[in-house]
């Protein structure tokens, strides 16, 4: 096997020296982080085909780039399927919660303040929801339930997009306040420790759910930022399939060209 470490022809060297193109798969050149893979491919092709003359070396350059592009397409497919799986999980979580959200808001008497059917104030990111919920837990432990303030904290974190557990917590807050009024208790009167415990347990469960959402969000972000190269915008499976088909056709065409050149050389000899 030869000790080749990169392209030899002017065209191959020009491709290799270029920076990463904006559109990763469409980049018609070897990218900086592909140099090592390109050298390995070139060594393999030279061992397999033993090119002679400039034209055959040009075809080897094109074969190297073709196989690198195939790897980019394969990576993109893997990323897209992984992202789609995570996005589906998140959507299914939201969908499963919708009826529960509506139920708890209705019996809490809050449906007019929260409309999950329209776009309103957005929910904070999971990590910030967790921070707000832990703060609310601490306040309720220390001073008990204060309806207006506690509902305000949940609204500040969740906007118009509460989760099922957040809606359940709001219902329980309203129920505790209503019970106080019904019994004619003052704000200083000790509240039912069982009700307080239920609210804290609901907040704990919601924190766990937000931690799951945060994990999914981090996994999705890791997939999207796995490469510093920007992929083509509006990535879908359909253009990826077109890329793959075109890549395969080009590969076969390059092999055919190499074979034709060799037949012509044999005839000339």
- Predicted confidence (pLDDT) per residue in 144-173, tens digit: 888 889 999 998 899 888 999 999 999 999
pLDDT of 199 > 50? The answer is: yes
Full-model pTM: 0.56
pLDDT, tens digit, 9 for 90 and up, residues 56-78:
999 999 999 999 999 998 988 88
How confident is the model over 212-240, as a mean pLDDT?
Answer: 69
What's the mean pLDDT when you consider all of the chain?
80
pLDDT tops 90 at residue 211: yes
Q: Where are the domains of the chain?
A: 10-82+237-268, 108-224
Lowest-pLDDT choice from 3-7, 28-32, 51-55, 248-252: 3-7
Share of the chain above pLDDT 90, in %: 35
pLDDT digits (tens, 9 = 90+) for 110-131: 766 655 454 567 888 999 899 9
Confidence class for position 226, pLDDT limits 50, 70, 90: low
pLDDT of residue 29: 86
What confidence category does residue 187 fall into, taking pLDDT thresholds of 50, 70 and 90? very low
pLDDT score of 186 more than 60: no
How far is the C-alpha of 36 from the C-alpha of 200, rounded, in Å?
A: 56
pLDDT for residue 235: 47
């Amino acid at each position: 096997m030869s000790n080749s470490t990169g392209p030899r022809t002017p065209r191959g060297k020009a491709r290799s020296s270029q920076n990463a193109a904006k559109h990763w798969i469409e980049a018609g050149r070897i990218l900086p982080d592909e140099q090592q893979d390109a050298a390995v491919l070139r060594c393999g092709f030279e061992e397999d085909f033993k090119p002679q003359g400039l034209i055959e070396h040009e075809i080897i350059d094109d074969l190297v780039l073709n196989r690198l592009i195939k790897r980019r397409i394969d990576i993109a497919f893997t990323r897209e399927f992984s992202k789609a799986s995570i996005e589906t999980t998140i959507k299914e979580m939201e969908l499963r919660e919708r009826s529960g959200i509506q139920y708890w808001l209705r019996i809490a008497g809050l449906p007019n303040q929260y409309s999950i059917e329209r776009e309103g104030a957005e929910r904070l990111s999971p990590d910030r929801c967790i921070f707000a919920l832990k703060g609310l837990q601490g306040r309720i432990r220390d001073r008990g339930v204060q309806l207006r303030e506690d509902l305000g904290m949940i609204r500040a974190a969740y906007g118009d997009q509460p989760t099922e557990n957040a809606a359940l917590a709001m219902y329980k807050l309203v129920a505790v306040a209503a019970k106080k009024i019904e019994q004619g208790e003052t704000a200083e009167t000790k509240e039912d420790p069982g009700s307080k415990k239920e609210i804290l347990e609901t907040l704990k469960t919601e924190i766990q759910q937000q931690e799951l959402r945060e994990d999914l969000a981090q996994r999705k972000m890791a997939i999207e930022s796995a490469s510093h190269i920007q992929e083509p915008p509006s990535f879908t499976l359909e253009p990826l399939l077109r890329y793959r088909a075109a890549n395969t056709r080009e590969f076969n065409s390059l092999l055919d060209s190499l074979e034709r050149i060799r037949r012509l050389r044999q005839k000339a000899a």
